[in-house]
Chains A and B, each alone.
Chain A
Amino acid sequence: MSTRTLVLLAFVIGAVLGLAYAWLIEPVTFSESSPAQVMKPYREAWLIMAAEAYVQDGDWARTQARLNALRDADLSQTLTALFERYQANGPNPTARALARLADRLNVRTPAMQVYLAAITTPTPEITPARGTTGLPRPIDAPEATPTMTPEPLPRLPPTVTPNPDYQVIDRVAECTFSPQPPQIRVVVQDEFGQSVPGKVIWITWEDGGQDRFVTGLKPEIDPGYGDFDMQPDRAYNVGVDKPTSVIVSGLRADACETDGRTSWRLILTPRLP
């Protein structure tokens, strides 16, 4: 073997041994890592904390610095996946914060729009009838962040006025069998027949009761779908956006010819001029 070959071989063997020692036996240990280098569960926790902190204080510059620390090249995807996971458990503050943060980053999905609609939908103004005192709205919410949890609503006699903006294009009675409760099932579509998530549907009934829900929380059924469980002894009215703008009235969960109770499926669209 020539000297040159031997020297080259010795160098290569030495380099391999050196690398093995540096990478496998005594690698560089970082005791000062950044959020980008920590385990995935904590990176997710970091993102959630950043989202909740952003909703809490609205400091966008700080939030951006926190997000940049993750060095996530596909932050939108990460955020969307995290939101989907949290919102699958039903409305919750974490999903709401993630939706808000995603919205700030111009990332929107139909499910996120439901949360955002619930945040931005103004509380309907209900003018009490003369001589009636409306119950004060509780103001013990610690933050300005609205909640999707249905608030106790004042029980006032509804003043029924026609809603010129929406109309019923389909109304179907369906039989629902126990243990499923009878429901009012609403799909809101736009003028082109596309489903519309994030619409606030108001349900009122004769003794002054009212409740609301938002379309789009069950995208597996339809992006513009929402439903409401009916009581057998009540006649319900359905409105869009405001409790007083009734589009359909007198829906009852009557007994079907066979077993079960009547559910109502409605498709609502904007009224064309």
Chain B
Amino acid sequence: MRKILFTLIAFAVGIGTGLAVGWYAWPVTYTESAPSRMRQDWKDEAIWMAAQAFAYDRDLEAAQVRLRPLGSEDLGELVLRRTEKAVAQNLPVPHITSLARLAAALGAHSERTDPYLNP
């Protein structure tokens, strides 16, 4: 009886140890995850970079290719939300302008962002 009890306890401790190692100490690391899984602040950065890149190369198709992996169906809305966030955060005008212009190029604008299209 005692032998079975010790065996069961050891089995349970083994499972606990395996789970602890597999989840916390040495978890599975994903090196090829989808960009849509990026943290929101990285997504914000990516949208800003896409807007700056668009200001540089004027390549709307390239901008769409860069934004699409972020997981939004409506790219215009995605950039517009980021633009309005930049307005709310009172970020520098050139920063907002590049975002507003990309949003407009994607067919999205709002009263809050329109003044930044031609500052």
Q: Which of B29-37, B72-80, B82-90, B104-112 lies on the face that meets chain A?
A: B29-37
Give chain B residues whose Cβ lies under 8 Å from the Cβ of A46: 46, 49
Main secondary structure of the interface of B (DSSP, over half): helix
Contact A21 B19, CB 8 Å, known A27-B28, A49-B52, A52-B56: yes
Asked if residues A11 and B13 are in contact (CB atoms below 8 Å), the reply is yes
Contacts of A21 in B (CB 8 A): 15, 18-19, 22
On whether the beta carbons of A15 and B17 are closer than 8 Å, the reply is: yes
Over the window 221-249 of chain A, the binary record of Cβ atoms lying under 8 Å from chain B Cβ atoms (1 yes, 0 no) is 00000000000000000000000000000
Instruction: Check if B6 sits within 8 Å of A7, measured CB to CB.
Output: yes
B93 on the A face (CB < 8 A): no
- Across-interface contacts of B59 in A (CB, < 8 A): 93
Specify the main secondary structure of chain A where it touches its partner.
helix
Q: When chains A and B are docked, how far (Å) is the Cα of A34 from the Cα of B98?
A: 24
- A18 surroundings in chain B (CB, below 8 A): 14-22
- With A18-B19, A46-B46 as known contacts, state yes or no: A13 contacts B33, CB within 8 Å: no
Interface with B: A35-43, A180-188, A192-200, which one? A35-43
Determine whether B10 belongs to the interface, using a CB cutoff of 8 Å to chain A: yes
Given contacts A11-B13, A143-B56, contact A6 B3 (CB under 8 A): yes
Residues on B with beta carbons closer than 8 Å to the beta carbon of A8: 10
Query: Is A149 an interface residue when CB atoms closer than 8 A count as contact?
Result: no
Specify which chain B residues have a CB less than 8 angstroms from the CB of A145 in the assembled complex.
56
| Size bracket of the B interface | 35 or more
Cα–Cα, bound, A35→B30 (Å):
12
* Assembly CA distance A45 to B16 (angstroms): 41
> How far apart sit A266 and B119, CA to CA, in the bound complex (Å)?
52
Question: What A residues does B114 contact at CB under 8 A?
Answer: none
Question: Between A and B, how many residue pairs show CB distances below 8 Å?
Answer: 160
Known: A13-B11, A37-B31. A57 touches B16 (CB 8 A): no
What mask results when residues 155 to 190 of chain A are scored 1 for a CB within 8 Å of chain B, else 0?
A: 000000000000000000000000000000000000
| Chain B neighbourhood of A28, CB < 8 A | 23, 27-28
A38 contacts B38, C-beta separation under 8 Å: yes
Nearest to B53 among chain A residues (CB) is: A52
Q: Which of B38-84 contact A (CB under 8 A)?
A: 38-40, 42, 45-46, 48-50, 52-53, 55-59, 65-66, 69
- Chain B residues with Cβ under 8 A from A88's Cβ? none
Q: Which residues of chain B have C-beta atoms less than 8 A from A37's C-beta?
A: 29-33
Contact B38 A10 (CB under 8 A): no
Q: Does B91 contact A (CB under 8 A)?
A: no
Please give me the residue from chain B that is nearest to A32 by CB atom: B39
- Given A14-B12, A14-B17, A18-B22, residue A42 in contact with residue B56 (CB < 8 A): no
Cβ 8 A contact of A20, one of B13, B18, B48, B69: B18
For residue B30, which residues in chain A have a CB less than 8 angstroms away from its CB?
A: 30, 33, 37
B22 partner, pick from A22, A33, A40, A143, beta carbons under 8 A: A22
Q: Which residues of B contact A (CB under 8 A)?
A: 2-3, 6-23, 27-35, 37-40, 42, 45-46, 48-50, 52-53, 55-59, 65-66, 69, 94, 98
- Starting from the known contacts A21-B15, A23-B22, A37-B30, 9 additional A-B residue pairs (CB-CB under 8 Å) come to A6-B7, A8-B10, A18-B15, A34-B38, A34-B39, A39-B34, A53-B52, A53-B53, A66-B45
